[in-house]
A and B are shown apart, each in its own frame.
Chain A
Amino acid sequence: MNTTKTLSHLDWLEAEAIHIMREVAGQCERPVLLFSGGKDSLCMLRIAEKAFRPGRFPFPLLHIDTGHNYKEVIDFRDKRAAELGERLIVRSVEDSMARGTVVLKNENEPRNKHQSVTLLEAITEFEFDACIGGARRDEEKARAKERIMSFRDEFGQWDPKNQRPELWDLYNARTHKGENIRAFPISNWTEMDVWQYIERENLELPSIYFAHTRPIVMRSGAIVPINVPLANGEMLNQPKPGEEIIAMQVRFRTVGDITCTAPVSSDADTVSKIVLETATTTITERGATRLDDQTSDASMEQRKKEGYF
C-alpha cells in the first residue's frame, strides 16, 4: 500500500475532469465543448489545455448566445477563444426566433430556457454526438442525480428514471445516429472548488465577476441590474415606474442571461477575496442569483427533460 503520496483535492478533481474529457474525445466522433465565457466554462478550457496540449483541442467550442448576455462576457469569450487558437462557433437564440423555432410568450420572457432549442439545432447542424458542459452536481438537485455521461435521445430529452448505469470510471458514451451524450467533467466540483481552482491556476475572468458599482433596483427581494447596455446599443432591464435606482457595489456569482441573473452585494474585487466570501456565504449560488429557478421546485428537472444542458 502506498500511503506517502496523495493528490490534493483540487489535483484529484482536475485529474478526474481531464480523464472524462479524454474519454469523450476517445469515444465520440464529433464532440463539442460548450463555452459561455463564464467561470465554470473557463475552468473547463484550462482542463482541456491540460488534457490535450501540446495538441489542439479535439473539439470546437460552442456558445449558445441568448442575445441578452453581458457585453463584458461576450468580449471575454471571443478574446479567450482567440488566445487559445481554438475554433469558436456561436449560434444565437435570436436566429431561432427569426426562423420561428423559438417563440417567446412576450418580449420580456427570459430566454435561458429557449437555449435548448438553439442547442438542438446546432447539434443537428454539425452532427455533434457529444456536448461537454460545465454543469456541477452541487448546483441543483436534478443535477445531483445526473450521470457524468448523460444520454439524450434524438429530441435531446433526459429521462431521469431511465439513466445508464455508470460504474467506476468506465463511461459509456455510445450513441446511435441522432442521439447524443452530455458530458459533465466537473460534476463533482462545488462552487468553492471552482473558485479555488481559478485562484490556483491564476485564471483571468470577465470583469463583472469582481465587485463593481452599477445601477440596480430591488425587485421582490432580488437585486436587479438596470439599464444594461447590449453590444447593439440597446438597453436591457428598464426600471419600472416608482422603482428607486440605487448605485450598488455588486459582483456576479454566475453569469447568464441578463434578464434572469442577479448579482450579489459584495466588495470582493480579487479572486482571493471571493474565495473567502464563498467560504462564508449563507446563500447557495442558484438561490442568490437565478431568478428563473425559483418559480418551481422542479424547474431544472423539467428543463433537462426538454433538452436543456
Chain B
Amino acid sequence: MNNLMQPQDNGLLRFMTCGSVDDGKSTLIGRLLFDTKTILEDTLTNITRTSNKRGMDAVDLSLLTDGLQAEREQGITIDVAYRYFSTGTRKYIIADAPGHEQYTRNMVTAASTANLAIILIDARKGVLTQTRRHSFLAHLVGIPHIVVAVNKMDLVNHDQAVFDKIRTDYLAFAAQIGLANNGSDIRFIPMSALNGDMLVDRNDAMPWYSGETLLEILEQVPATCTEHNDSFRFPVQYVCRPQASDDPELHDFRGFMGRVESGEIAVGDKVTVLPSGQGSTVKAIQLGNDKLQTAISEQSVTLLLEDEIDISRGDMIVRASDAKEPVKQIEAMICWLSETPLSTARTYTIRHTTRESKAKVGSIAYKVDVNTLEHQAAQGLNMNDIARIEFKLAKPLAVDSYADNRATGAFIVIDESSNNTVGAGMII
C-alpha cells in the first residue's frame, strides 16, 4: 500500500464503526490506520510509550483512538470522533461512535453522514442485544451498506462453523427488522483486528474464506455522492446580489447559492421554486466565476434563472417535472438528543434543509425499545428515545420521505430558549 496519489481518484467514502471497545473496535480502526500507513512515527512513538507505561508488551493500537482528557479521566468515549485515511485512490472519513445504549444519539449522529457501517461482533459472543441495536439504528438512519465484521476469530480457532452460525443468526434477525429485504447490501467478513487478518491483508489464518477483505469492500462500494435519489433538489442557502458593483454586467446579477442535494441540473432545464410554485429556466450555472453546463449531486454551485422571481434562503429549486406539493404536517421517526425531555405542550423550531418553521407535536404514535424493537406507548420523550411522531408546521416544507432522499427527508429540532439541537427527525 502506498499513500501517493494515483492519477485515478475514486472519490470519498464516509463510514462508521459500531461496537464497543470490548469488540475490538478501537483495534480495528487502529489497524486500518496502521496498515494503510496513516500512522506516522511520532504518533506511534507516543502510543508505544503509553503502552509501556501501562505495562503492555505489544503496542496497543486501540490507543490511537484515545480521545479527550475528559474521556481518559473517565475511561469512556463520550463523543463521535472523526478520523481520516487514504489509500491513494480513495479518501475515507471514519465516524467512530461509542456503542453503549446511553449513546444512541451519538450513533445516530455518526450514522447521519455515513454511507457504510461496520458492525462488529465478537466471534465468541455472537449476535447480542447491542448488535441488534446497532443494526436497527443503522437501518433507521438509512445507511445503504452494512459490513458485519465477525472479529476475534483467532479466539475461536478460526473456525468456519462459528462464522457461519453468526451469519445465519444475523440474517434471521435482519429479515425481522426489514434490513435484508429492502435492498440493503449486507456482507460478512471473518477477521482478527488484532492480527490484521482480513482487514487490509488476507494473511493465511482463514483459507476457507475466499470473500473480500474489509479494505476491498471499502474500495468498491459507491462513493458517498453517487447514491442519491435522482430528483433534483437545490435548497437555496444564500442569494448573491452584487448591486453595488461598478461592473454594469453585474448590475442585474441574482445568483441563488446552494448545494445540489440530489439529482443533477443543466443549463436550459425547467425548474420550479418551492414553496411558491413559480417556474423558470436555468440560465447559467456558476462555481465562483467559472461557468458550468451541468451540476451534479453534492456540488456547491450558484444558479441563475431566466425570470426575475422572488427567491430567498429557505426556498428550494427543483426540477419542474418532479416538484412536490409542500406540506404543513409531517410524520417522522425522531431521535431525542437532549437531556431536557420533549414536551408536547411546547413549540419547537424545525430546520429542514435551509428552511425553518415553528412546529408543534401533534401526537406520539409510539416509541421503540432499541433493544427489543418493541413499540411502546409514550407521553413524552427522554434523551436517546426513538419514536414515531407527528408534527404540525407553521410554514410549508418541501419534503421527501427519508427512505427516498436522506437530504430532503431529514430535519433537526431546535429548542429556541437554549438554541440547542434537541432532536433528529426522519420523515416517513
Task: Name A residues whose Cβ lies closer than 8 Å to a Cβ of B.
Answer: 1-3, 5-16, 18-19, 22-23, 25-26, 49-56, 58, 137-138, 141-142, 144-145, 160-161, 163-170, 172, 174-176, 187-188, 190, 192-193, 196, 275-276, 279-284, 287-288, 297-298, 301-302
* Interchain CB contact under 8 A, A141 and B354: no
Contact (Cβ within 8 A) A190 B11: no
A52-B240, A166-B109, A301-B68 known; A279-B421 Cβ under 8 A: no
Determine the distance from Cα of A55 to Cα of B414 in the docked complex, in whole angstroms: 31
Give Cα A165 to B354, complex, Å.
17
Would you give the 0/1 interface string for B102-138, flagging 1 where the beta carbon is closer than 8 Å to chain A? 0001001100110000000000000000000000000
Interface residues of B in 153-180 (CB under 8 A from A): none
Q: Are A22 and B41 in contact (CB under 8 A)?
A: no
Q: How far is the CA of A52 from the CA of B241 in the complex (A)?
A: 10
- CB of B255 within 8 A of CB of A144, answer no
The answer to whether B419 has its CB under 8 Å from any CB of chain A is yes
**Measured between alpha carbons, how far is A288 from B230 in the docked complex, in Å?**
46
What residues on A are CB-neighbors of B411 within 8 Å? 170
A145 x B80 contact (CB < 8 A)? yes
Assuming the contacts A161-B78, A167-B109, asked whether A9 and B9 have C-beta atoms less than 8 A apart, the reply is: yes
Best-buried of A13, A56, A144, A175 by chain B (most CB within 10 Å): A144
Contact A18:B300 (CB < 8 A) given known A9-B12, A160-B70, A168-B407: yes
- Are the CB atoms of B264 and A5 closer together than 8 Å? yes
Option from A53, A172, A196, A288 in Cβ contact (under 8 Å) with B351: A172
Q: Does B66 contact A (CB under 8 A)?
A: yes
Indicate if B372 sits at the interface (CB-CB under 8 A): no
Q: How many residues on chain B are close to A (CB under 8 Å)?
A: 79
A54 touches B245 (CB 8 A): yes
> In the bound complex, how far is the Cα of B241 from the Cα of A98, in angstroms?
42
**B288 & A15 in contact (Cβ 8 Å cutoff):** no
- By a CB distance below 8 angstroms, the chain A residues around B412 are 165, 167-168, 170, 172
A297: min CB distance to chain B, Å: 7
What is the 8 Å Cβ interface bit string for chain B, positions 20-47, against chain A (1 contact, 0 not)? 0000000000000000000011110000
Chain A residues whose C-beta falls within 8 Å of the C-beta of B382 in the assembled complex? none
**Do B40 and A287 touch across chains, with their CB atoms under 8 A apart?**
yes
Contact A145 to B5, CB < 8 A, known contacts A6-B11, A13-B12 = no
Say if the beta carbon of B69 comes within 8 Å of chain A: yes
Which of B85-93, B189-197, B274-282, B359-367 lies at the interface with chain A? B85-93
Cβ-neighbour of A279 out of B5, B10, B90, B424 (below 8 A): B5
Given the known interface contacts A5-B264, A54-B250, A167-B410, the answer about A12 and B12 at a Cβ–Cβ threshold of 8 Å is yes
**5 A-B contacts (beta carbon < 8 Å):** A16-B298, A50-B300, A144-B67, A170-B351, A279-B5
A56 to B68, CA, bound (A): 39
- Enumerate B48-72 residues with CB–CB distance to A below 8 Å: 66-70
Q: Inside 8 A of B90's CB, which chain A residues have their CB?
A: 9
Complex CA distance for A155 and B393, rounded to whole angstroms? 36
Enumerate chain A residues within 8 angstroms of B240, measured Cβ to Cβ: 52, 54-55
Which residues from B are CB-within-8-Å of A280? 3-4
- B219 contacts the other chain (Cβ, under 8 Å)? no
Contacts of B354 in A (CB 8 A): 23, 26
Does A6 contact B226, Cβ atoms closer than 8 Å?
yes
CA distance A268 to B299 in the complex (A): 33
Q: A50-B300, A167-B412 are in contact. List 16 more A-B contacts (CB 8 A).
A: A2-B226, A9-B91, A12-B12, A12-B224, A22-B258, A54-B247, A55-B241, A144-B67, A145-B80, A168-B113, A169-B113, A174-B414, A175-B419, A192-B3, A283-B40, A298-B69
Say whether B259 contacts A18, CB under 8 Å: yes
Residue of A nearest to B313 (CB): A26
Whether the pair A284, B300 counts as a contact (CB closer than 8 A) is no
Q: Which residues of B contact A168 (CB under 8 A)?
A: 112-113, 406-407, 410, 412
Are A167 and B82 in contact, with the CB atoms below 8 A?
Answer: no
Q: A7-B225, A145-B67, A193-B91 are in contact. Are A165 and B421 (CB under 8 A)?
A: yes
The answer to whether B9 and A284 touch across the interface, beta carbons within 8 angstroms, is no
**Shortest distance from the beta carbon of A251 to any chain B beta carbon, whole Å:** 18
A195 vs chain B, min Cβ distance (A)? 10
Q: How far is the CB of A12 from chain B (nearest CB, A)?
A: 5
Is A1 a contact partner of B42 (Cβ separation < 8 A)?
no
Question: Taking the nearest CB of chain B, how far is it from the CB of A58, in angstroms?
Answer: 8
CB of B296 within 8 Å of the partner chain: yes
Q: In the complex the two chains form, is B80's CB within 8 Å of A8's CB?
A: no
Contact indicator A3/B222 (Cβ below 8 Å): yes
Let me know if A8 and B242 touch, CB within 8 A. Answer: no
Bound form: Cα–Cα A174–B413 in Å: 13
Complex Cα distance, B222 from A26, in Å, reads: 31
| Cβ–Cβ < 8 Å partners of B225 in chain A | 6-7, 12
A276 contact set on B, CB distance < 8 A: 4
Is A144 in contact with B82, judged by CB distance below 8 angstroms?
A: yes
* CB–CB A279/B299 < 8 A: no
B230 adjacent to A284 (CB under 8 Å): no
Q: Enumerate chain B residues within 8 angstroms of A137, measured Cβ to Cβ.
A: 82, 84
Q: Which residues of A contact B86 (CB under 8 A)?
A: 9, 190, 192
Nearest CB of chain B from residue A70's CB, rounded to whole Å: 24
Is there contact, CB below 8 Å, between A283 and B42? yes
Contact present for A5 and B296 (CB under 8 Å): yes
Question: In the complex, which residue of chain B has the Cβ closest to the Cβ of A142?
Answer: B68
B403: interface (CB < 8 Å) = no
Chain A residues with CB under 8 A of B11: 6-9, 12
Bound-state Cα–Cα, A9 to B91, Å: 6
Q: Taking CB as reference atom, which chain A residue is nearest B222?
A: A3
B151 contacts chain A at the CB level, 8 A cutoff: no
Assess whether A15 is in contact with B299, with CB atoms less than 8 Å apart. Answer: yes
B228 within 8 A of A: yes
- State whether the Cβ of B227 lies closer than 8 Å to any Cβ in chain A: yes
A241 to B69, CA, bound (A): 38
With a cutoff of 8 Å between Cβ atoms, the chain A residues found around residue B258 in the complex are: 19, 22
Min Cβ gap B75→A in Å is 14
